[in-house]
Structure 1
């Protein structure tokens, strides 16, 4: 493992970066939160740093905080959005999202993070339609823990399989993460057969 990579992995700032990127991903969907966690998992396999359990905890905490902020923004915007729902189509979409979250909220909140842009959209929409806060936060906690474990372990596995070749480990891990995302999208689309407006 190159000396520079070892120095980066040993820095306490790497976990701060993971926390911030995982949190911002709920507000800025182009943030590479999963890639960041996967890359740190690859490095952890070769260097032992950052500690895998700490990486998982920090990634989950950052993602949870980001989702909570996005949900709160939606909740604070509920009245102004409701006042603007004058168009029949917009009202129908709002009602459809509300029905979807009421009937399958847990599944949507947990699996939406695997769909590109789904995490930020779901958290904001849940706040906008008045989804129960306690339920949202519990489902989000389950989702971020599953997500952070999956991303860190995939990275760690890729790094362990290609010890000494972190780039190959990262590429393998990213391919595995994409496969998991594809499976999650299929599960979510199959499970969420609530008719659209």
Structure 2
């Protein structure tokens, strides 16, 4: 087991895998990119090599490239992308929510949306389709990618450090920690949706009353 951990933690190909997983899960959500980052970070902690920063950089770079490409696709093929996102009932619901929030609160959605299953893809494509400012999108994506990659890698590294003699247990604990973060993000999403919806209805009501007085 120790030889395997050392191989995983020191191979440069592992960084390529991390980058590719983080890049492609914007279009292939079934790729367990976060699980891969956690597992590699556990291996880094077990092997004792100072490679964690490279894991974080590879993961963040993958997110930037993947989300950037998705944004460009959305910008060039807006209607076709929208139809694809809305093929299922759940996809249509996510797209409607992302679209409504994007118009009012794009920054927190871009930064935090990657924690909620399905929202990262919808956010990236929809941002391009609705013409969200490219520089602003790139800046918020950089922040979100950095936070996500750092959090995932540190969870794995902490699990590997705490359970130094049992890397599988360290991975399991770190993976559960990542699940807790995702669950928290989903709860925040639901609460934010309710709050933003109430604010939007209130603003609409005020405009309607103002127009009626005129």
Calculate the TM-score normalised by the size of structure 2: 0.80
Q: CA offset at residue 80 of structure 1?
A: 5.5
Matches within 5 A, 1:1-197: 2-49=2-49, 51-78=51-78, 97-193=98-194, 194-195=196-197
Deviations 1:28-85 (A, max 9, x none): 11111100110111111111346111111111011111011111111111265689xx
- Structure ID, larger Rg: 2
- How far apart are the structure 1 equivalents of 2:70 and 2:149? 19
- How far apart are the structure 2 equivalents of 1:170 and 1:60? 20
- How far apart are the structure 2 equivalents of 1:106 and 1:143? 10
Q: What is the aligned length? A: 187
Higher relative contact order structure (alpha carbons within 8 Å, sequence separation ≥ 6): 1
- How far apart are the structure 1 equivalents of 2:148 and 2:95? 28
* Worse-matched range after superposition: 130-139 or 145-154: 130-139
Unaligned runs of 5+ in 2: 84-93, 201-214
Deviations 1:119-178 (A, max 9, x none): 111101111122111111111110000000100000001111110211100000010000
- How far apart are the structure 2 equivalents of 1:33 and 1:96? 24
Q: Is the 8 A contact 2:8 2:40 kept in 1?
A: no
Q: Is the 8 A contact 2:10 2:51 kept in 1?
A: no
Q: CA offset at residue 184 of structure 1?
A: 1.1
- How far apart are the structure 2 equivalents of 1:172 and 1:80? 41
Which structure's residues are more often helix, by fraction?
Answer: 2
Unaligned runs of 5+ in 1: 84-92
3-state secondary structure, aligned to 1:163: coil
3-state secondary structure, aligned to 1:30: coil
Q: CA offset at residue 103 of structure 1?
A: 1.1
- How far apart are the structure 2 equivalents of 1:82 and 1:26? 15
